[in-house]
Amino acid sequence: MRDMMPHFDLYQPDSVAAALELTSRLDEQAWILAGGQDSFDWLKNRTRRTAAVVDLGAIDELKGVRESAGGGLEIGALTTLTDIEAHPLIREKFELLARAAGRVASPQIRNAGTLGGNLCQDTRCWYYRHGVDCYRAGGNICYADTPEGQNREHAILGASRCVAVSPSDTATALTALDASVVLRSRAGERIVPISEFLVGPAINIRAMTTLRPGEILTTVRVPAIWSGAMFYFEKVADRAAWDFALVSIAAAFRMDGKRVADARLVAGAVACVPWRLHAAERAVVGRERSEDSAERAASVAVDGARPLNYNHFKIPLTENLVRRAIRDAQGA
């Protein structure tokens, strides 16, 4: 770590149109800056360099929470995590997202960090972040997935060469809520489900999202289908504040009387993307939430897991989080 930033040209547009003109003109040279919590790490350590930074912080239209037709929400990508945690509409309708936002890092970071930035942040694998030539950096090896690799925080599911995990807490919650993102460029607008926006190494080993050069994430859309459902979020980390998850769980249940009509169980920090536990969902749908259904779901939650040398603990930890989510989920 050199703790110094390289020289770059700084642009601070005050509208989406101006930002899109800049990103179109600068193309791959444009480094998009939201809250800056991930960007500053890269630039200070000089493991990444850029000729130009486009700071979106002055664009007011990218901030705030709005109710959409049908009862869903539209959340500006530059809305801070603190505002998401405290917003009355989010707490009333989609408390799962408020809980997840409130577990990101520390209060100081949540005051500056944004929803869009939290979704787009890069993986925290220390081999990759410190500039080694791993697969994700363009090399031909994953240093974490070797007999000598330090891989306590890495993936046990869905890996393909790279075993780094997504560090985003809000992405796990938004996956459970079937959210989508709005991506804008001068060529037009794309609306992409969050489950397709976040990608694993089998799709693109050099990126964690489907953002294209010249595009800006402007809005996150949360549909009404999960409004007021029963939710559960828990994040297990080495420290209560600042740390990234060792494993997390985001759960949503829609009830039909005492029985579960539909369920989402999404684990964080077990795969390169937030990981839907489909088998566990099937085990609980149509049944009452009970110790028996929780045990059924936990028993199949991590089928197919491939733990590495130092992260076998993630298997029983994920199973226990599934049990607690089914047992302890609460309504709005």
The per-residue pLDDT for range 165-184, each reduced to its tens digit, is 999 999 999 999 999 999 99
Parent domain of 288:
228-328
Q: Which residues, in sequence order, are bridge partners of residue 193? A: 180
313 part of a folded domain: yes
The full DSSP string for 189-218 is EEEEEHHHHB--TTT-TT-SB-PPTT-EEE
The per-residue pLDDT for range 312-331, each reduced to its tens digit, is 999 999 999 999 999 999 98
The per-residue pLDDT for range 224-254, each reduced to its tens digit, is 999 999 999 999 999 988 899 999 999 999 9
**Torsions phi, psi of 206, nearest 5?**
-100, -5
Q: Predicted confidence band at 129 (pLDDT cuts at 50, 70, 90)? A: very high
Sheet with 52-55, edge to edge strand ranges: 9-11, 52-55, 30-33
pLDDT value, residue 5: 79
103 part of a folded domain: no
Q: Does residue 199 have a pLDDT over 80?
A: yes
Rounded CA separation 3/45 (Å)? 6
pLDDT value, residue 241: 82
43 part of a folded domain: no
The dihedral region occupied by 71, where left means phi > 0, alpha psi between -120 and 50, and beta the remainder, is left
Q: What is the number of structural domains in the chain?
A: 1
Q: What's the mean pLDDT when you consider all of the chain?
A: 95
252 part of a folded domain: yes
Mean pLDDT of the 98-127 span: 96
Rounded CA separation 313/191 (Å)? 37
The full DSSP string for 24-39 is HHHGGGEEEESS-TTH
pLDDT value, residue 231: 98
Mean pLDDT of the 131-144 span: 95
The per-residue pLDDT for range 117-127, each reduced to its tens digit, is 999 999 999 99
Domain of residue 248, CATH code: 3.30.390.50
Least confident stretch, 35-44, 199-208, 251-260: 35-44
Q: Predicted confidence band at 332 (pLDDT cuts at 50, 70, 90)? A: low
pTM: 0.96
203 part of a folded domain: no
50 part of a folded domain: no
Q: Does residue 1 have a pLDDT over 60?
A: no
Mean pLDDT of the 191-212 span: 97
**Torsions phi, psi of 31, nearest 5?**
-100, 115
**Cα→Cα distances 145→123, 125, 159, 209, 277, Å:** 15, 11, 10, 22, 23
Is the distance from CB of 119 to CB of 220 less than 8 angstroms? yes
The conformation of residue 136, written as its DSSP 8-state character, comes to: G
Q: Predicted confidence band at 45 (pLDDT cuts at 50, 70, 90)? A: confident
Q: Which two tokens stand for residue 18?
A: 């101006």
139 part of a folded domain: no
323 part of a folded domain: yes
pLDDT value, residue 34: 95
Q: Does residue 156 have a pLDDT over 80?
A: yes
pLDDT value, residue 2: 59
